[in-house]
Structures are given as structure tokens and as C-alpha cells.
Amino acid sequence: MSKIKCTVLECAYNKDVMCNAPMIQVNHNGVRRSRESAQTQCDTFKPKDL
Ligand code: SF4
């Protein structure tokens, strides 16, 4: 898998500011056609058990 840097430290898959998931799924974020990165989102996000 490609190296994915991710600053969402509260995700269970985050390890040292990198994504450690075997794969991720990224979807549109509230729009039918994304035109900027803010209009995409990682659906693989899982909250850490705190
Ligand atoms: S699953 Fe998504 S939110 Fe979680 S570390 Fe990976 S890229 Fe970031």
C-alpha cells in the first residue's frame, strides 16, 4: 500500500502520523463531484478507544 501521511491522530489506524490500515476508502464529502480536497473524506476512520 502507498504511504499515507495522516494527521488525524485520534484514529485507531494512525501510527506516528502515518496511516497503518491495510487499505482505506475515501468518499465524497457531501457533494456529488468533488472539486477540492475538503470535499473528500476517509471513511475508514475509526475512533481510538480512549
Ligand atoms: S484510516 Fe483514514 S483517518 Fe485513519 S489514519 Fe488512515 S487515513 Fe487517517
DSSP notation for the chain:
----B---TTBTTEETTEE-SS---EEESSSSS--SGGGEEETT--B---
29 lines ligand 1 (CB under 6 A): no
Nearest CA to ligand 1 atom 4: 45
Residues 6+ apart with CB under 8 A from 31: 39
41 lines ligand 1 (CB under 6 A): no
pLDDT digits (tens, 9 = 90+) for 16-43: 999 999 999 999 999 999 999 999 999 9
34 lines ligand 1 (CB under 6 A): no
Q: What was the pLDDT predicted at 2?
A: 84
Residue 14 above 90 pLDDT? yes
Q: What was the pLDDT predicted at 49?
A: 83
Q: Span 6-24, mean pLDDT? A: 97
Confidence of residue 13 (pLDDT cuts 50, 70, 90): very high
17 lines ligand 1 (CB under 6 A): no
